[in-house]
Amino acid sequence: MENKQSLGRHGEDYTARIVQEAGLKIVALNYRCPKGEMDIIAREDETLVFIEVRTRQSSFRGWGEESITHKKAQRLKAIASFYVLQQGYKSWPSMRFDVVAVRWTGENSEMNWIKAAL
């Protein structure tokens, strides 16, 4: 991978494919709003699933799943709230926050999908 942005993009694309293969319907990729960005928003039955993707090539600074701080979790929840309000839901939908950690070593990848992580 050339740089951090390219690595992140590869991890998000890889995750999007896996999420779809698992039967979730993607409703938004790289959703941006004044609160920040959500990598993937999907729907699993009646539940909105907000997915944060963390891609790493080494554990030098910890694996991706270890990098979600309290502050980052609060930001992700604020983004989800903004999305729900922006979409005009009549009542608050069922929501879940997942973290997908992608480990890329050479040509090999490994994924840790933590459902309901937040």
What is the CATH architecture assignment of 4-114?
Answer: 3-Layer(aba) Sandwich (3.40)
Angle at 100 between CA 96 and CA 102, to 5 degrees: 175
Which position has the higher pLDDT, 46 or 61?
Answer: 46
Residue 69 and residue 107: Cα distance in Å, rounded?
29
Rounded CA separation 75/45 (Å)? 25
pLDDT tens, position by position, 75-118? 999 999 999 999 999 899 999 999 999 987 777 778 889 999 98
Structural domain boundaries of the chain? 4-114
Reply yes or no on whether the pLDDT at 1 is more than 50: no
